[in-house]
Amino acid sequence: MRLFWKRKGPAGPRPQDIDCGQVMQRLYEYIDGELDDPDLVARIRAHLELCQRCYPHYGFERAFLRFLAEVRDGAPPNLRRRVFQRILEEETRKG
């Protein structure tokens, strides 16, 4: 069996508490601060820090930085969401 976790997490939320599909579904809301469930936010953060499948595969960090650079506060939420998804797709395709 392959191990996907880089290291054992400290006490607190474990990356196994949420699966990769759920993380990706919530990724935009997580980044944009739309999640109002602190427990869920902590689980997603723990997952992204430790999961070797999600983090590199999705180019998460690069996409996030580009997203911040391209989208300013004035953009309406729907536009921000579309821009983020486009950037994420581009970064994912590049690998």
Q: How many helices (H) and strands (E) does the chain have?
A: 5, 0
Please say which residue, 12 or 77, places its beta carbon nearer to Zn ion: 12
* Tokens matching residue 83: 């821009």
Window contacting Zn ion (CB under 5 A); options: 29-37, 47-55, 76-84, 86-94: 47-55
40 near Zn ion (CB under 5 A): no
Q: How many chain residues bind Zn ion (CB under 5 A)?
A: 4
Sequence-distant (6+) residues with CB within 8 A of 45 are 13, 30
Sequence-distant (6+) residues with CB within 8 A of 12 are 42, 46
Between vectors from CA 81 to CA 79 and to CA 86, what angle results, nearest 5°? Answer: 95
Please say which residue, 39 or 70, places its beta carbon nearer to Zn ion: 39
Please say which residue, 5 or 83, places its beta carbon nearer to Zn ion: 5
Ranges within 51-70 binding Zn ion (CB under 5 A):
51, 53-54
Residues that bind Zn ion (CB under 5 A): 20, 51, 53-54
